Chains A and B, each alone.
Chain A
Amino acid sequence: MPRQSMTAIATASMRKIIHVDMDAFYASVEQRDFPQYRGKPLVVGGRPDQRGAVAAASYEARQYGIHSAMPARIAQQRCPNLIFARPRFEVYKAVSQQIRAIFHRYTDLVEPLSLDEAYLDVTTNALEEPSALVLARAIKADIHSTTQLTASAGVSVNKFLAKMASGQNKPDGLTLILPEQAETFVAALPIERFHGIGYVTARKMRALGIATGADLRQRTEADLVQHFGKVGHFYYRVAQGQDDRPVNPNRIRKSLGAERSFSPDLTNLAEMTVALEGVAAEVISRLQEQRCRGYTLTLKVKYADYRQITRSRTFVAAIGAESPILPWAEEMLLTHLDCSQPVRLLGLTLSNLELVGEPICVQLSLEI
């Protein structure tokens, strides 16, 4: 049945989607503007002595196993010569605007995912060019001549496949996945590489014997929904190479979070505090990527007996940008933690998001 439906999709309502992803964006901007950094391992983000996290790592730094959301302290341990560049978000934002302006020369259907990443629906486009591959090549060339930076692009019939394609040949890659190739491509994909499957889910899938796209395809939709909830529908469809989500130019994120599960379970508060620091760093790194801050912080704790609590707190002023989230997260953990149970998962989510750069609104209080 899947083979048949794939062909049906290919012919009936074929869209042309491009996913463009800047290569090591923040790090590349730093290397562009400071020639002394070129060819050297560099990260952008907080400093190791200030509990910071890596927001972006240059390709040279990645060779040391350094990646974004890693605590800066650990990054430095892996590469003692690592250059720490302070983030210059105004510059990244300006470059991002240049890139978005380029996208809009081709189509109005642009959905930015962050400063350095976007989906474009070029099924109909301003150049009336039928080949999405030709368009992707032209966009990459425009980006390079305008910003002196490279981007990787993926071209396919839906967002999921386009996104997977852009990751295939980084940096400066251009990959096309034709509808007839989708099945083979997805089948060979390790489960960790699936867009939308994070570390925790991947581990859970491995435990269920799902290691590749081919394994995922063996599962029924009901089975996946039973194990993973609502998102199981999405996993089922992408395992078939299907994804009918439209490219939405007005998408706003509702919340942003990170969680980590532990094996063995954590039993003392000191360990949990350290773990929470890592989760908070990841949330901050994602917030920076999205240029967001938020008003409501939610702490999630899953205990060894699978009992789960979530506790939220809403602040009068947004947190996550100028004001950190870790002290609040720690306070919430201390207030709500049931110390009698080992903890298997900790998560933090920030919601009620707004873009940094919007005026900060503060509900004033009475002096009582």
Chain B
Amino acid sequence: MKFICPQNELSAQLSSVSRAVSSRPNRPVLANILVKADIENQSVTLVGFDEVLGIESRFSAQVEEPGTLTLPSKLWGDIVSRLANEDITLESEGDSTTVTLTSSSGRYEVRGLSAEDYPALPTVEEGEAISLSADALLSGLRGSLFATSGDETKQVLTGVHLLSETDALEFAATDGHRLSVVQTTDESVTDTPFMDVTVPAKALRELERMIQGYTSNEPVALRLDETQVLFDLGRQRLTTRLLEGQYPNYRQLLPKQFARQVTVDRRLLMASLERIAVLASQKNDIIKITLNPGDQSIALSVEAQEVGSGHEELPAQVSGDELDIAFNVRYLLDGLKAFDTTEVQMQCNAATSPAVFVPLGETKITYLVMPVQIRG
């Protein structure tokens, strides 16, 4: 195998696929990245795979001799990232798994392992592909990923639920205390096949990062079967195992009617919450929102015993009666950061029933937050 490519290209691709390499692999070869040099297409493909998440990345290179082998992910990545940005050469002799990496700085020999034992990425061939615009996918991920659970004992909640209906795709995530539902419509696509799956958040965070660097106008193709989903971005592909288990019937959790409604400037609210959060974080992150329909304002306050207290007021359109309702300020900020509109609306009924936050704009996000009940 022998190929020549720019250092920055190789370094970027290595850093991307290494995210699918386990730091504690079950087998030695899984600590490595698979590298395939293709002479016909003059391209190099890298693969990282932890047996759940797989990332494959293809880039152009001057391939002089084809070949396939695996190299230790961390070692290889750390060396390449420290080299100057210039063309570098990777070369191995015959069947040898030792690669010589040559740059103007010098020569490195890195011992790899044969590609024979490297597992093939799962393939998803059956059924038709669903195509989604990168923008729609990105806004769906942004609006939902933050609400997933980090608790590994609640497996199905550690993922985002994807549900498709005709030309709409719905993203939902909940950790049991809050729920975010994003509806994306993609007019370029019609008759989307039915889809009802839960995808691990870990994989989707990688997908989000990949889409942020995706420059093509082509839609992203999504293929799935019973156990796997594959996102195809042309040069990059991400595959992951789906989460098993019934996703909660979240739609029934969304209240249909509200007795109180507040409309407020999102940035002002966020800035106030960030300040209030400084004190709240000293305690338990709990803050109180007071709705004042009388003077059309809301008050935000924090009482952190033995630390201090804070109080701010914001102009708002308030309908309904006065109310004191407490929240974990982190939950509120997570949601408000994921919105991109000037104004945000909060709707609620009582201090102990769910509050719903929606951005007033094109993106359809419904963010439900359970309040904190204060007793005694």
Chain A positions within 8 Å of B, measured between CB atoms, are 250, 252, 295, 316, 352, 354-355, 358-368
B372 close to A366 (CB less than 8 A): no
CA distance in complex: A352, B326 (Å): 19
Chain B positions within 8 Å of A, measured between CB atoms, are 174, 176-179, 248-250, 253, 283-284, 286, 305-307, 326, 328, 352, 354, 368, 370-376
A367 close to B253 (CB less than 8 A): yes
A359 close to B375 (CB less than 8 A): yes
Interchain Cβ contacts under 8 Å between A and B, 9 examples: A354-B305, A361-B373, A362-B374, A364-B352, A365-B176, A366-B178, A366-B179, A368-B174, A368-B249
B176 close to A368 (CB less than 8 A): yes
Q: How far is the CB of A209 from chain B (nearest CB, A)?
A: 41
* Minimal Cβ-Cβ distance residue in A for B157: A368
Q: Please give, as numbers and ranges, the residues of chain B lying within 8 Å of A367 by CB-CB distance.
A: 253
A363 close to B305 (CB less than 8 A): no
Q: How far is the CB of A39 from chain B (nearest CB, A)?
A: 39
Q: Please give, as numbers and ranges, the residues of chain A lying within 8 Å of B372 by CB-CB distance.
A: 361-364
CA distance in complex: A352, B286 (Å): 13
* Minimal Cβ-Cβ distance residue in A for B175: A366
In the complex, besides A354-B284, A354-B305, 13 extra interface pairs with C-beta distance below 8 angstroms are: A250-B306, A316-B177, A355-B306, A359-B376, A360-B374, A361-B373, A363-B177, A364-B352, A364-B372, A365-B370, A366-B174, A366-B179, A366-B368
CB within 8 A of A368: which of B250, B284, B286? B250
B305 close to A362 (CB less than 8 A): no
CB within 8 A of A364: which of B249, B283, B305, B373? B373
Q: Please give, as numbers and ranges, the residues of chain B lying within 8 Å of A354 by CB-CB distance.
A: 283-284, 305
Q: Please give, as numbers and ranges, the residues of chain B lying within 8 Å of A368 by CB-CB distance.
A: 174, 176, 248-250, 253
Taking A252-B306, A368-B176 as contacts, is the C-beta distance between A363 and B328 under 8 angstroms? yes
CA distance in complex: A215, B328 (Å): 51
Q: Please give, as numbers and ranges, the residues of chain A lying within 8 Å of B371 by CB-CB distance.
A: 364
A355 close to B284 (CB less than 8 A): no
CA distance in complex: A146, B328 (Å): 44
B176 close to A366 (CB less than 8 A): yes
* Minimal Cβ-Cβ distance residue in B for A352: B284
B284 close to A361 (CB less than 8 A): yes
Taking A252-B306, A352-B284 as contacts, is the C-beta distance between A364 and B374 under 8 angstroms? no
Q: How far is the CB of A5 from chain B (nearest CB, A)?
A: 35
Taking A354-B283, A355-B305, A366-B174 as contacts, is the C-beta distance between A360 and B354 under 8 angstroms? no
Considering the complex of A and B, which 7 residue pairs feature the smallest CB-CB distances, nearest first? A368-B248, A364-B370, A360-B375, A362-B373, A359-B374, A252-B306, A359-B376
A361 close to B253 (CB less than 8 A): no
CA distance in complex: A368, B250 (Å): 8
Instruction: Please report whether the interface of chain A is mostly helix, strand, loop or mixed according to DSSP.
Output: strand
Q: Please give, as numbers and ranges, the residues of chain B lying within 8 Å of A250 by CB-CB distance.
A: 306
A363 close to B370 (CB less than 8 A): yes
CA distance in complex: A362, B352 (Å): 10
CA distance in complex: A355, B376 (Å): 13
* Minimal Cβ-Cβ distance residue in A for B282: A252
* Minimal Cβ-Cβ distance residue in A for B352: A364
Q: How far is the CB of A351 from chain B (nearest CB, A)?
A: 11
CA distance in complex: A360, B368 (Å): 23
Q: Please give, as numbers and ranges, the residues of chain A lying within 8 Å of B354 by CB-CB distance.
A: 366
* Minimal Cβ-Cβ distance residue in A for B368: A366
Q: Please give, as numbers and ranges, the residues of chain A lying within 8 Å of B352 by CB-CB distance.
A: 364
Q: How far is the CB of B372 from chain A (nearest CB, A)?
A: 5
Q: How far is the CB of B145 from chain A (nearest CB, A)?
A: 18
CA distance in complex: A360, B374 (Å): 6
Q: How far is the CB of B365 from chain A (nearest CB, A)?
A: 17
Q: How far is the CB of A94 from chain B (nearest CB, A)?
A: 18
CA distance in complex: A245, B280 (Å): 28
* Minimal Cβ-Cβ distance residue in B for A356: B376
Q: Please give, as numbers and ranges, the residues of chain B lying within 8 Å of A360 by CB-CB distance.
A: 374-376
Q: How far is the CB of A253 from chain B (nearest CB, A)?
A: 10
Q: How far is the CB of B254 from chain A (nearest CB, A)?
A: 10
Taking A354-B284, A358-B305, A359-B374 as contacts, is the C-beta distance between A365 and B177 under 8 angstroms? yes
Taking A355-B305, A367-B253, A368-B250 as contacts, is the C-beta distance between A362 and B375 under 8 angstroms? yes
B305 close to A366 (CB less than 8 A): no
Q: Please give, as numbers and ranges, the residues of chain A lying within 8 Å of B174 by CB-CB distance.
A: 366, 368
Q: Please give, as numbers and ranges, the residues of chain B lying within 8 Å of A295 by CB-CB distance.
A: 284
Q: How far is the CB of A363 from chain B (nearest CB, A)?
A: 5
Q: Please give, as numbers and ranges, the residues of chain A lying within 8 Å of B376 by CB-CB distance.
A: 359-360
A361 close to B374 (CB less than 8 A): yes
A366 close to B177 (CB less than 8 A): yes
Q: How far is the CB of A224 from chain B (nearest CB, A)?
A: 32
Q: Please give, as numbers and ranges, the residues of chain A lying within 8 Å of B307 by CB-CB distance.
A: 252
B326 close to A361 (CB less than 8 A): yes
Q: How far is the CB of A316 from chain B (nearest CB, A)?
A: 8
CA distance in complex: A367, B248 (Å): 9
Q: How far is the CB of B149 from chain A (nearest CB, A)?
A: 11
Q: Please give, as numbers and ranges, the residues of chain B lying within 8 Å of A316 by CB-CB distance.
A: 177
CA distance in complex: A360, B253 (Å): 25
Taking A354-B305, A359-B376 as contacts, is the C-beta distance between A364 and B176 under 8 angstroms? no
Q: Please give, as numbers and ranges, the residues of chain A lying within 8 Å of B373 by CB-CB distance.
A: 361-362, 364
Q: How far is the CB of A123 from chain B (nearest CB, A)?
A: 24
A366 close to B370 (CB less than 8 A): yes
* Minimal Cβ-Cβ distance residue in A for B247: A368
CA distance in complex: A354, B306 (Å): 9
Q: Please give, as numbers and ranges, the residues of chain A lying within 8 Å of B253 by CB-CB distance.
A: 366-368
CA distance in complex: A80, B313 (Å): 63
* Minimal Cβ-Cβ distance residue in B for A355: B305
Q: How far is the CB of B248 from chain A (nearest CB, A)?
A: 4
CA distance in complex: A354, B284 (Å): 9
CA distance in complex: A53, B373 (Å): 31
Q: Please give, as numbers and ranges, the residues of chain A lying within 8 Å of B176 by CB-CB distance.
A: 365-366, 368
* Minimal Cβ-Cβ distance residue in A for B248: A368
* Minimal Cβ-Cβ distance residue in B for A253: B306
Q: How far is the CB of B344 from chain A (nearest CB, A)?
A: 21
CA distance in complex: A352, B307 (Å): 13
Q: Please give, as numbers and ranges, the residues of chain A lying within 8 Å of B375 by CB-CB distance.
A: 359-362
Q: How far is the CB of B54 from chain A (nearest CB, A)?
A: 30
Q: How far is the CB of B104 from chain A (nearest CB, A)?
A: 46
CA distance in complex: A355, B248 (Å): 37
CA distance in complex: A51, B177 (Å): 34
Q: How far is the CB of B309 from chain A (nearest CB, A)?
A: 13
CA distance in complex: A362, B375 (Å): 8
Q: Please give, as numbers and ranges, the residues of chain A lying within 8 Å of B250 by CB-CB distance.
A: 368
* Minimal Cβ-Cβ distance residue in A for B326: A361
CA distance in complex: A359, B248 (Å): 32
Q: Please give, as numbers and ranges, the residues of chain B lying within 8 Å of A366 by CB-CB distance.
A: 174, 176-179, 248, 253, 354, 368, 370
Q: How far is the CB of A6 from chain B (nearest CB, A)?
A: 35
Q: Please give, as numbers and ranges, the residues of chain B lying within 8 Å of A365 by CB-CB distance.
A: 176-177, 370
